[in-house]
Structure 1
């Protein structure tokens, strides 16, 4: 999601300056590659790049192709085949042993251009589906490009009303949203079209309760990751924009009033780091009433055990599921010392938990690093 946010920001800046742009999207990967389907890069006519479609090997050639697309105002499907061991034939040192298909689209003045569809996804802050269509078999055929966006209850379809694949495409997009997994679909509709039906998760929302000095590096790391950051503290002189310029919002509130200020979903992580026991136990009582995937509590395990015992002693029943979502002491065991390393540890654990991963060294992973998240229906 961060790449999408960066691309939209870069487009707005380029548009304000009157620059023409194109969007390159990895739409299909056969074999292995540095980036997977869904990787994007915005290219301006003067050569500025935002995002990435490879480890840096394809960007130069994609820039040349994008300038052609901008000039002709027609989408172009480009394929890089690195299955030959001598990938130097391409003029790039990929070493990925895969076939990478990239669709480059000009960004026109049409309201439903790809960038505006990406803006819809960002604004809705919910699980979404974005569809990009292309023809591998007939490259001279029209390339529909980014043609459908499904965000919550809003459906935008830019393909022609009489397109023979339109109804099937809408049905498949709705199915992907239900199944929560991207798909590659092929439609035999005169022209043989392939659709990358992409399932996009909303950005992670990080709620940091506590505006002390150790919250500052956690905010910085979360900002680099593109997370939506909320700072909460009961002390107005601590919860200040001057101290946390990278936070999306800063709230001064007592524990009982915190929940009314934040939007909770299954991509929300809350970290308690106020160093104020009474504030934290009062807030923990509040947030245990809602379903959160991650609650991190800074401090020793004895502190958490005492908090839970006091809450249960007051007659509150804490279920096993609720306990499984409480992480204390917070963070992964990386030998962290100091606020910056602790922040790295905490951010890593949040990412692992929300990605349903264990957070161990990839050296010991028996399967490929990136198992396919795409269902192929070809």
Structure 2
């Protein structure tokens, strides 16, 4: 399950229990760190946790610090410097970075963050959230205050300073436009404010055409990644809950019925594995003009060349951009043979496409594993 969705579910289950909850969020990193900005861990006073903010070396200390934050009732910034030789967190840990966390008590009056994320997920909308985590000097602002913006520009906030609010709103708009989170520093005459401007993306939604045996591990592994999964097939005996217990939706439809039952955009992720030439022809003809982010097709290149030839003969000439989004044979080359291995290959390629990465060996990467933080 998506980590943020797991945190939401745990929050929903415990918010009326009377148990005190604490949230730790990675808001800034420097150097080599296990988790990136946006990683979260929800903690209860009993010691249960959901999510993670490191590889395991910080969680226990973060929990103790978070309990103090609950007692004070105020959010606080905590910095773990694992570069300094005299810092116990850096000694013999194999780490070489600095992690900045925002620790917050989770209270009813501070539930707006959870509701904002929930709305983004449920309505499949993109949002941007600016969280203040550092205030230096005499500037009038509080750690933990936020400005949240939906993709239509509507804003919810508890930032009281109009100058800071305007700056945060502008950076949220930029984040929505570029789809990139960033740490921003604002310098005023009265002091300095730092905020984490985070893009909230709904979980990846992958639509799989074909409910054959090879689609089962694709659906299962996609759910392990926290993605939403829709299985589409025209055979009731195949598209069943028994075969696909983790799928979010099962759609019974023939290719010619797809337009009435499903909608697709340039953000869509689609995998075609019907093993039916006629069905693949109809699906490709309908989906190529949509230019989905990822359009995968199972089968050899010669079969696809014949499909594209038939599509051109039908009156549709796919553009180079449309063909660039078609991945065939689907997957990355890991020597996959079994259905499970093929599913891993396909999902790895989808992940690489979504993050604009090449999918090669990390050892061949000349720079850092992660893209530099803006």
TM-score band by shorter chain is over 0.9
More displaced stretch, 53-62 vs 297-306:
297-306
> Does the CA-based 8 Å contact 1:134-1:195 persist in structure 2?
yes
**Does the residue aligned with 1:100 lie in a helix, a strand or coil?**
strand
Change (3 A) 1:261 1:20: farther
Change (3 A) 1:73 1:160: same
* 1:102 counterpart residue number: 101
The whole-number CA distance in structure 1 between the counterparts of 2:326 and 2:165 is 45
More displaced stretch, 240-249 vs 189-198:
189-198
Tell me if 1:9 matches 2:24.
no
Change (3 A) 1:337 1:92: same
The within-5 A match list for 1:209-248 is 209-248=209-248
Deviations 1:71-110 (A, max 9, x none): 33211211111122354x2487543222211111111112
* 2:173 counterpart residue number: 174
C-alpha displacement of 1:162:
4.2
Change (3 A) 1:60 1:112: closer
Change (3 A) 1:136 1:55: farther
Structure 1 length-normalised TM: 0.91
* 2:300 counterpart residue number: 300
Aligned length: 373
**Does the residue aligned with 2:154 lie in a helix, a strand or coil?**
strand
The within-5 A match list for 1:237-316 is 237-316=237-316
> Does the CA-based 8 Å contact 2:82-2:90 persist in structure 1?
no
C-alpha displacement of 1:285:
1.5
Tell me if 1:19 matches 2:16.
no
Change (3 A) 1:322 1:278: same
Change (3 A) 1:92 1:153: farther
Structure 2 length-normalised TM: 0.92
> Does the CA-based 8 Å contact 1:209-1:273 persist in structure 2?
yes
More displaced stretch, 148-157 vs 127-136:
148-157
> Does the CA-based 8 Å contact 1:296-1:330 persist in structure 2?
yes
> Does the CA-based 8 Å contact 1:256-1:286 persist in structure 2?
no
> Does the CA-based 8 Å contact 1:24-1:41 persist in structure 2?
yes
> Does the CA-based 8 Å contact 2:22-2:42 persist in structure 1?
yes
* 2:354 counterpart residue number: 354
> Does the CA-based 8 Å contact 2:84-2:90 persist in structure 1?
no
Deviations 1:144-186 (A, max 9, x none): 3151211212534332444541222212211222233223222
* 1:184 counterpart residue number: 183
- State the Cα RMSD in Å: 2.3
The within-5 A match list for 1:125-204 is 125-135=124-134, 137=136, 143-145=142-144, 147-153=146-152, 155-189=154-188, 190-204=190-204
C-alpha displacement of 1:275:
1.6
* 2:340 counterpart residue number: 340
The within-5 A match list for 1:60-71 is 60-71=60-71
> Does the CA-based 8 Å contact 2:183-2:194 persist in structure 1?
yes
**Does the residue aligned with 1:65 lie in a helix, a strand or coil?**
helix
> Does the CA-based 8 Å contact 1:203-1:267 persist in structure 2?
no
